[in-house]
Structures are given as structure tokens and as C-alpha cells.
Chain A
């Protein structure tokens, strides 16, 4: 019982945060908003999965990845491939020259299903791939980078390049991936129509529950030795290494967890929104995911979820009303949050709580941004090189 309370639910503050979030997501939003907006919030929550992963990776471990869109896309495309295959059964595609294959393959004169697509006819395999494929890619990338002690800015640039390669590669192979339009017209999952209002609500609640579960899992993960390791890694990585720990394996593990979270977010995105396209997985969306985290407060799991919700809602509202202003706002957000509020919403909340309700803050929590020790040291090019 104690373990459940202290480790999984995160003690008093964790329980409070989870409860507030559950009330907001499961009760307030479905009651207060119309179905269209509930569906939109569900879409934002998919990005919140990626933000959670980044909070772990960037906020807790000090590794900034600018390529989380890659994992979001891998999860999304795995799901979309299954749904597309189910949507393009021979009967509904009988007007094509080759019935039974997705429409964009037919437009590109493909005569039969590519071997890559065949396993995605089965739902269990697709769901497995949603988790396994991002893990595998993250493991390979992490192994190559962290084993050689590559980190910091360098890691950010390489992951950004990976996101670019992924989106360009999808864009360039229209016959196999749907190209720039992406995979669209998704209809059913195992016969269950995902487009009805009823299904949208079920998917929304499933997304919320999965998100809360992920937060609890991350809290459990960080309450033990892993949390101490991450704190030590962020503060003095070299000392941890001298003490005989294999720091790189911890980093690879964290990177894989973040990738899986992004992949799940991508799959849920496809289920709720009904399509996936390269424009959702490239450089720009990947770096936008980082701003959710920066706004929310990079180390706080609850903060980044609210950050993802707020930034996305702002984007939807503003880019409709003033399309010109949105990029200015986004740019201003990047600069402002980095220069003025490096602890984001969560930092502001903590500060406000301490001022207004000191009795609510039994122990002073320290969520302030801690940079790795190397970054505090005098900046030198040697510090930048891996």
C-alpha cells in the first residue's frame, strides 16, 4: 500500500496532481466542451505523450532530442498502415485497377502489396510494432550516440537530421507511403467504426486514461534508483561514471522510453484524427513538441501535459483568427520562455503556491532547471565536442 502511494502515485503532491488532471481531463473537458473540441483536445493529448517523453529525456536527463517527431511518426504510420489496409478491402476498392490495395498504391501503378505492408494486416502485430519500432530505432540511435558519449547540442542536431530524413523519405516514396498527402481515409479498426461521435468519445477517454497511466508509470520509474541515477547524471555525469556505472545504458533506456511514449501518442493520434502525413513528423513539428515541454516546465510531468494542451489550443484558436500572428507568437514563446521563464508553467505554479498557500506545499519541491554540470562550467568548444 505504501509502495503504491509513495512510488506509483508519487506521494501527496503526485496524488494531488493526478487527481486534478483526472478531474480536468475526464470530467471538466467532456462536460464543458462540444464534441468537436473534445476531439481536438484528444488530439492535443496525443502530443502530450511526446511531451511526457521529452520531459523525461530533456527535463530529467538533460538530453535534448529534436527528432521526437520521428518516433511519433513511426507509431502513427504503423497504426495508419493497419487501418488503411482494413479500409481498402477488395469490395470497397473494386473500382481500382488492382482491388484490395490502398488507393495511393493504385494511383502509383503498384500491382501488389509491398512486402513491408503485409505484416500490418494483423492488428496485434501493428500494435506490437507501434511500441517495438520506435524502441528499436531509439535503441540503435542511442547505442551509437551515447556509447560514444555524444550529447548536448550535437545529439540535438543529429536527431533533427533524422526527423528530416524520415519526413523526406516518406514524402519521396509516394507509392509505398502515401507521399506528401499521407495516409488518409481511415475508417474502421477490426470492424469498429472510428469516425462516429461515440467512438471519438471512447478514444478520448482511452487516451486520457493511458496518459494518466503513463504519468504514474514514470513516477514509479523515477521514484527508485533510476530517479537518483538521473539526478546524478544531470549533475555530475563524470563522477557517476567514475563510480562504475554505465551511464550510456541509462541514457539509452530513457531515450527508448521517450520514443515509446511518442510512438503511442502517434498511434492514438491516427485513431482520433484519422490521418497521418509527413508534415506531422518533420523538423517543425518535432521542435514544436519541445516548446510544449519548455512552456509547461521541462521537468514536471503534469506541467508538460498542460503545456501541450495550452500551446495547441492557442495554436488552433490563433492560427484560425490571425494566421499571420501565429508564427510571431510561436517565436516569441520560444525566446520568452527560454530567456525569462526557464521553469515554465510548473515553475510559476510552484512559486505562486509558495506565496499563496504555503500550507499546500509541505516540503519545498525543487523543480528548477538544472543544467548538466558541464554546461555550468565555462563554455568552451572542448565541452561541446563529444
Chain B
């Protein structure tokens, strides 16, 4: 008996809390993946990243509303199209933002941070004006509802499993793209040494624009995935932004594996701590631990071994 629970209860709690941690992990990871490639590539801190996530979520909501109104028979299938659409909308908007805003601020990273914060305020208020201040939920297809009963005390919700699957596919896709494609090669070269890449004939400005738009698109997919496990409000993106930045910094900023490990650690820690501590204290504890570790080891868990 620990904390008044029997061992088998504790095991069930552990499994179910780790599973809910895995859902959080998926959302954090999808957010952080976009941030990592943007930050690693261009040194730009995109504080509007959370709003890109909300934009993806609202895209799904919009699709669901349209499908409900015009052809309800398509409800079981629209969700997959909506995810792709969320990616397209967000990456297009990201392209627009890079072209109109970010490209002027590459040499002033602190200013780009402030400008993207301004952008996030404007986007938040736009969401509020367009969709209302209340949180919205799209009508989800039936196959996303329900839960797997693994044992009598352990239930795994299907939407969580779906989000994890999506995260897995997307992470593998990004890894494959970065390490096994020509554009990925160009991106990695630019990260390693911008000047030399330029000299070798890589159009680094174009690579930057592409990277930013790709990162925003991934945030859109994160938002689409988020709609299956929670409702979307104008400020739901900003709720995750600090967490995702801590994930990026904690993971060592530039490497995918670091981001994955740190997203896993932070999400699991929060989820398990939340069960034993009331309210937000679990989150406070975990964030505090992460910040203290970062103060001791400022380069994060997996620092890339390049000389600075």
C-alpha cells in the first residue's frame, strides 16, 4: 500500500496516466518538431507557433461544420482530408508570414521573437472574432470514439491511439524527409554551415522559406490531432507554447532525437505528477525541474557537437 492505493490499483493508474501522458506527448512533440526545425534552421523563435496549431484545429472544425451541413454521409471520411487541409492551410499561411515578416528580421532574433508575439496576439483576436470566444469541437467520426478494454481496470481511448499513430507516422516522415531527400540534405547543410552551403550553390533563403512553412504546416497537423482529444478555443495554442519551447530547449534545440526524448519526459512527468498533486502544481513542479536542469546543463539533453 502506497498513498492508500493497492499495488494493482497503482499499476492501473500508472498505465492509464502514462497513456494520457502519451497523448500530451504526441501534441507536444508535433508542436516541438515544427519549432525545432524552424529554430534549428533559422534561429527564429516563433512565438506564434501555438496559433498555427489553433489554426489547424479551426480548419478541422470548419471542415466538420461544412460536411455536417452539406453532406453528412461523408462524416466518417472527412477527418483524414481535414488533416491534409490543415497542413496545407497552415503551411501556406506560414509562407505568407515568412515572406512578409520574418525574412526582414533574420539578423535580429530578439526582434523576430517580439514580432511573432504580436502576430500571435492578432491571430488570437481574429479567432475570437471569427469563431467566438467559446471553445469549439468538431463532430468526430464514429470510429474515433470509444476505448479499447485491455483489462478490466485499464481502458485506452481510441482517439489517443489515433493521435499517437499520427505522431509516429509524421515523425518518421520528417526523419525520412530530412535524412533521405535532396531538400532535407539542403536543409541540414544550411543548419550546419550557412555560408558554405551558400557557396556550394544552395539557395539558403529559399531553404529558409521552405523550412518555416513546413514547420507551420506540422503545427497545423498538431492542431488537427489536438481536436480529437480536446476542444479548441482562441487561446488553446498559447497554452502549449511555453511547454513546447521548453521541450525544444531541453532537447538540445537542433536534433530530432533530443526533441523526442524531452517531449516524452516532460509529458510523462506532467501527467503522472498531475495525478498525485492537485491542480496545476504537477505542471509547476515539472517545469521547475526542467528549468533547474537547464540552468545546470544549458545546452539541453542532446547538444549537437559543433563548435560555437
- A residues touching B (Cβ–Cβ < 8 Å)? 58, 64, 141, 144-145, 148, 150, 152-154, 156-158, 160-162, 164-165, 168-169, 171-173, 283, 287, 290-291, 294, 324, 327-328, 330-335, 338-339, 342, 371, 375-376, 378-386
Q: Is the CB of A380 within 8 A of B43?
A: yes
Name the A residues within 8 Å of B107 (CB-CB): 371, 375-376, 379
B248 (CB) vs chain A CBs: closest residue: A157
CB–CB A161/B287 < 8 A? yes
Q: How far is the CA of A151 from the CA of B273 in the complex (A)?
A: 31
**Residues on the A chain within 8 Å of B125, using CB:** 324, 327-328, 331
Hey, which chain B residues are within 8 Å of A58, CB to CB? 110
Bound together, the chains give a CA A100 to CA B128 distance in angstroms of: 44
In terms of DSSP, what is the predominant structure of the interface of chain B?
Answer: helix
Known contacts A328-B125, A330-B118, A380-B43; is A342 also within 8 Å of B298 by CB? Answer: no
Judge whether B136 is part of the interface by a CB distance below 8 angstroms: no
The answer, yes or no, to whether B73 is at the interface (CB within 8 Å) is: no
Known: A287-B117, A327-B125. 8 other contacts (CB 8 A): A141-B295, A164-B242, A330-B118, A331-B123, A334-B117, A342-B111, A371-B108, A386-B298
Nearest opposing residue in chain B for A149, CB measure: B298
Q: How would you classify the secondary structure of chain A's contact residues: helix, strand, loop or mixed? A: helix
Q: Does the CB pair A331–B40 fall under 8 Å?
A: no
Q: For window 40-85 of chain B, which residues contact chain A by CB distance below 8 Å?
A: 40-43, 45
Q: Which of B3-11, B22-30, B145-153, B278-286 contacts A (4 or more CB under 8 A)?
A: B278-286
Partner of A339, one of B40, B45, B115: B115
**B113 pairs with A156, CB closer than 8 A:** yes
Q: Does B260 belong to the interface (CB within 8 Å)?
A: no
Closest to B129 in A: A324
Contact B242 A160 (CB under 8 A): yes
Alpha-carbon gap, A355 to B245, bound state (A):
45
Give 27 CB contacts A-B under 8 Å. A64-B113, A152-B109, A156-B45, A157-B245, A157-B249, A160-B242, A164-B287, A168-B283, A168-B284, A171-B279, A287-B114, A290-B114, A327-B121, A328-B121, A331-B118, A335-B122, A338-B111, A338-B114, A375-B108, A375-B109, A379-B109, A380-B43, A381-B40, A381-B254, A383-B43, A383-B308, A385-B253
B106 touches A331 (CB 8 A): no
Query: Chain B contacts of A150 at CB under 8 A?
Result: 298
* Chain A min CB distance to B255 (Å): 11
On chain B, the residues within 8 Å of A171 by CB distance are: 279-280
Chain B residues, CB < 8 A from A332: 118, 122
**Which of A168, A294, A327, A375 is the one whose CB lies under 8 Å from B280?**
A168
- Encoded as 1 (CB less than 8 Å from any A CB) or 0, chain B from 113 to 147 comes to 11101111111110011000000000000000000
- How distant is B97 from chain A, measured CB to nearest CB, in Å? 10
